[in-house]
Chains A and B, each alone.
Chain A
Amino acid sequence: MYPDNFRYTKEHEWVMVAGDSATIGITHHAQEELGDIVYVDLPKVGAQLAQGKSLGSVESVKAVSDVYSPLSGEVIEINGALADKPESLNQDPHGAAWLVKVKLSNPGEIESLMTASDYAAYVGAEK
């Protein structure tokens, strides 16, 4: 369920690091808890993200939740397709429905995040 090459946060975001940049999204568990997602609010390209601070929000029919950045860095790309198809976050949260790509300013932060097995255990325990 949770890819081994991702790292995870307690707030249910995932991050996949490749070199000095990373892709950020929300987890399968997050989308399942939120229910039908109707709107995604993303930062602008060029925005500076700080680890643990809100980068945007995801709105479902029952709630709106902040998305917290797993790592610090500058936004280099946003997933514009989500504006028209927010429901893809329910269908493919670990793939096509990524949220933003960032150029990392402090790659060392990755060590503070959970591995796939840690996260699976964390989610299991939360349930």
Chain B
Amino acid sequence: MLDACGVASAEELFAHLPEAARLNRPLALDPGISEYEIVDYFKKRAAHNANGYTSFLGAGVYHHYRPVLVDAVVSRGEFLTSYTPYQAEIAQGTLTTIFEFQTMMCQLTGMDVANASMYDGSTALPEAAMMAVRATGKGRVLVARNVHPEYREVLRTYARHQGMPVVEFGYVAETGAVDLEDLERHIDPLTAAVIVQSPNFFGVIDQVKAAAEVAHKHGALLIMVFTEAVSLGILEPPADADIVAGELQSFAISPCYGGPFAGVIATKEKFMRQLPGRLVGQTVDSRGNRAFCLTLSTREQHIRREKATSNICTNQALIALMATVFMTVYGKQGLRELALQNLAKANYLADKSQRRFTAPCFNEFVARVEGQSPDELNKALLKTRIIGGLPLAKHYPELSDCVLLCSTEMTPRESMDLVATALASKKPVEVQA
């Protein structure tokens, strides 16, 4: 093969690559081993993954069951290899699924129109903020400190070169919900949007309606963020919000080391032309049959580059399709039952723990760890094949004695009991498996 390439060695073949990008040692594999030996090696390595562990991590990525139908549908070539369905004549299948996605997102959020997905929840948020800036003609956004810390970081990254000041307001130390008085103190006539999350980063079902009232009183829009889409199965649709931006990972999208995920933005009809991303509309073909096509494309950068609402173009269609299949499999009643199960599981554990906040939560809650550090607790739990909750010190120094615990329909009761026992021990212990 090297002869055919006209080079003397593998070293020479890669000589054009920068030194820093090259692996300057042989692969850690025995020389000359066969393909099946390599496959076998990687199977053994894969067995080192944390299979058979129970995880109490949530914080934006949730462990939910993925119906087998999801992969059966998304692995079909018609979906897997398709590109943006510009040509409606040959893309009715893709367009139909996207239209169904938009319809179900509207039903879940109480909004009039939803776009056909964003990269993820964290990037949907700044896009929603920029929508509010365009719609109001104002430049400043207020974001609650109990919105996901990494979402706020992405918001600041986008804002830096947008000339969009981002100001944070607090949460009530007792309840974990947004501090409406602090919001009142920070809001001014130049505020384009108030951003709150529900359930918020602490798992608390937040005061969207009350925050919307404050925002509207000052001529600002209310953006509601969600990271746990399953909560929409039981919570009242956030109809008081002007824009809803969220993450759909919970709907059959694997955690996959953090992506790819799919986000969404939904809004009221009057802000429709400010939406970024693809939109599919229903129409009729030349024979009068129901048909679908991309619509309102003049918002997009392939039509008017410099005046586009966003530079997002090729979206997360395949990943969003996972969410579409998930929503179809569960249906309205199924999603409600799933949400109730999550609620019941989390509350089972919360009742056995020292809850840090008093406001109602969904499937996550903040627990106080006493007599040991959250890291010590997690270290002990790991020995019983349990991945503990997220220690909050990194993002919230004032909550350095707390962990964010998440329970879903996948969390066995025995594991929750082990966590409760470890929490109650109030000292570093060797938990017996």
Contact = CB atoms under 8 A, between A and B. Distances in A.
B303 interface: yes
A38 to B, nearest CB: 9
A81 interface: no
B259 interface: no
B104 to A, nearest CB: 26
B273 A64 contact: no
Interface residues of B, number: 6
B304 A44 contact: no
B137 A44 contact: yes
B298 A59 contact: yes
Interface in A18-60: 39, 41, 44, 57, 59
Q: Give the residue among B137, B298, B303, B307 with the most A Cβ atoms within 10 A.
A: B298
Contacts of B273: 39, 41
B303 A64 contact: yes
Contacts of B307: 57
State the majority secondary structure of interface residues on A.
Answer: strand
Interface in B294-334: 298, 303-304, 307
A1 B304 CA distance: 32
A57 B304 CA distance: 12
A64 B137 contact: no
A41 B307 CA distance: 12
A64 B307 CA distance: 11
Contacts of A39: 273
A44 B138 CA distance: 13
A61 B273 CA distance: 15
A59 B304 CA distance: 12
A57 B137 CA distance: 17
A57 B308 CA distance: 13
Contacts of A41: 273
Interface string B114-141: 0000000000000000000000010000
Contacts of B304: 64
Contacts of B303: 64
A44 B137 CA distance: 9
Nearest to A83: B270
Nearest to A63: B298
A127 B304 CA distance: 25
B287 to A, nearest CB: 19
Interface string B275-296: 0000000000000000000000
Interface in B119-176: 137
B286 to A, nearest CB: 15
Contacts of A59: 298
A47 to B, nearest CB: 9
B394 to A, nearest CB: 44
A11 B273 CA distance: 24
Contacts of B298: 59, 64
Interface in A57-79: 57, 59, 64
A64 B300 CA distance: 11
Nearest to B304: A64
Contacts of A57: 307
A125 B307 CA distance: 31
B245 to A, nearest CB: 23
A41 B309 CA distance: 14
B215 to A, nearest CB: 20
Nearest to B272: A39
A41 B298 CA distance: 12
A44 B135 CA distance: 11
A126 to B, nearest CB: 23
A59 B295 CA distance: 12
Nearest to A66: B307
Nearest to B297: A64
A41 B304 CA distance: 14
Nearest to B137: A44
A6 B312 CA distance: 42
Nearest to B273: A39
A39 B270 CA distance: 12
A44 B298 CA distance: 21
Nearest to B298: A64
B275 to A, nearest CB: 14
B270 to A, nearest CB: 9
Interface of B: 137, 273, 298, 303-304, 307
Interface of A: 39, 41, 44, 57, 59, 64
Given A41-B273, A57-B307, A64-B304, 5 more contacts: A39-B273, A44-B137, A59-B298, A64-B298, A64-B303
5 contacts: A41-B273, A57-B307, A59-B298, A64-B298, A64-B303
Q: Which 3 A-B pairs have the closest CB atoms?
A: A64-B298, A59-B298, A64-B304
